[in-house]
Amino acid sequence: MDTSHTSKPGFDHRQARRAGTAAFVGTAIEWYDFYIYATAAALVFGPVFFPESDRMVAVAAAFATYAVGFFVRPLGAIIFGHIGDRFGRRPSLVITLLGMGLATVMVGLLPTYGQVGAWAPALLILLRVVQGLAVGGEWGGAVLMAVEHAPEKHKTFYGGFPQLGNSAGALAATGIFSLLSTMGDTFLVDGGWRIPFLLSLPLVGLGFWVRFRLEESPVFDQFRDEQPTQLPLTYAVRTNWLPMLLGIGMAGVSTGGYYIVTSFATAYGTEPEIGLSETLILNALSAAAFVEFVTTLGIAWLGDRYGRKKVVMVGVLGSGVLVVPQFLTLDGGSVWAIFAAFIGMRLVMTATYAPVATVMAQMFRPQARYTSMSLSNGIAAAIWGGLGPVTATWLYVQTGTIWSVIVLFLAMVAVSAVSLHFAPQYIDPVTDTSADGADPAPSVDARADSIR
């Protein structure tokens, strides 16, 4: 057997910082692409691509095209998980970045419904499918590159780098839409919405350069010659089915709940009966995204200090407490109350998100880890993220009260909390040569202590 890839790798903070930075840059670009679509779906895609419906029905239709990207994410997880488990994390991540970026630029070039009729939403859905496939393989690979390069005692901190890309992408997306919304009541609908999509082109070039130069994961290198003979998907389904189910349930708040308190809240707050301006909501979301950005790594560090599962649980339960004031302040609350509600919710949501990357990564053994993690996250995204805003919109239209949406959110909290409680954690069987002098990690079958 070729032993060039079987020697046990060592970990150091220099490699971990490089991998974490590359994960951050790539995920920031990909999530920027993803969130500008979500924001456009809430604000302008209704009248641009579905002009013959009333406002909330058009919003629901726009969210449905948005949901398509979630429904194909499991397929993307299978495709790019196979590449990542068989050929390496790096080539998979380069392909996903290019696919997402080029599809995003093409959205910015699409004709409207008024120009080509039904072809416009059809092409929009097609490009959304490409985006969904790319994101399905993006997150798992980016997380593994960061976590698998990191010393054991610091995995949650470095696992926060790709999560930091989420808030950076959201901040850039809401920030640019907030800026464009100040340029007149009809500027966005008249074509201003295209600008954020076209700006993705130079960002993709930057991301490609960063990721192409990245070294391969040391854990993948160690197990390159020890991959199971069956397909990664087959191994994942047969061996990891239970932690995959727990991973799906665990993402209820961090995925589905997140889009309810951002994308749906944007549509709800700008509903004529509520009457808030688009600029106000976008500014509140931008402020919240900034808070998430500056606190993500600190909260991830708390996961290493006090236990990553404990920190996520605090965030899950805290979001259940704050969901009520967030939505109630939209109807009649002051500007400062609205800002405070959005910022407070995003802070506790960061606790559900910053450490969860490492929680998910360490729920699976190294064999077929990319496929297992990506498929679990992709299915969770399809269920929670894809159906969350659509279901929330449907409940609000049917009941006429925001309390139905709040109940939906609390149900997500319950499922997430139970799944998190039972989620296993494994330690990679590699030699840890970090500067803090950690002892070598135990075997792969050993469970981490209960605080993790």
Residue 417 predicted with pLDDT over 70: yes
**212 — alpha (psi -120 to 50), left (phi > 0) or beta?**
alpha
Per residue in 235-275, pLDDT (tens digit) is 999 999 999 999 999 999 998 999 899 888 988 888 878 88
DSSP states along 331-377: TT--HHHHHHHHHHHHHHHHHHHTTHHHHHHTTS-STTHHHHHHHHH
Residue 4 predicted with pLDDT over 50: no
**Distance (Å, whole) CA 254 – CA 251:** 5
Q: Which residues, including other chains, have CB under 8 Å from residue 248's CB and lie 6 or more apart?
A: 376, 379, 380, 383, 419
Note the maximum CA span of the chain.
70
Per residue in 7-63, pLDDT (tens digit) is 344 556 777 888 888 888 888 887 888 788 878 877 787 778 877 665 666 666 666
Estimate to the nearest angstrom the gap between the alpha carbon of 336 and the chain centroid.
Answer: 28
Of 297 and 289, the structure prediction assigns the larger pLDDT to 297
Single-letter amino acid, residue 349? M
Domain ranges of the chain: 13-422
pTM of the model: 0.79
pLDDT value for 437: 36
Per residue in 59-118, pLDDT (tens digit) is 666 667 767 777 888 999 999 999 999 888 888 988 988 888 888 899 999 998 888 887
Assign domain 13-422 to a CATH class.
Answer: mainly alpha
Of 24, 7, 86, 434, the closest CA to residue 214 belongs to 24
Residue 280 pairs in a beta bridge with none
**Distance (Å, whole) CA 209 – CA 22:** 10
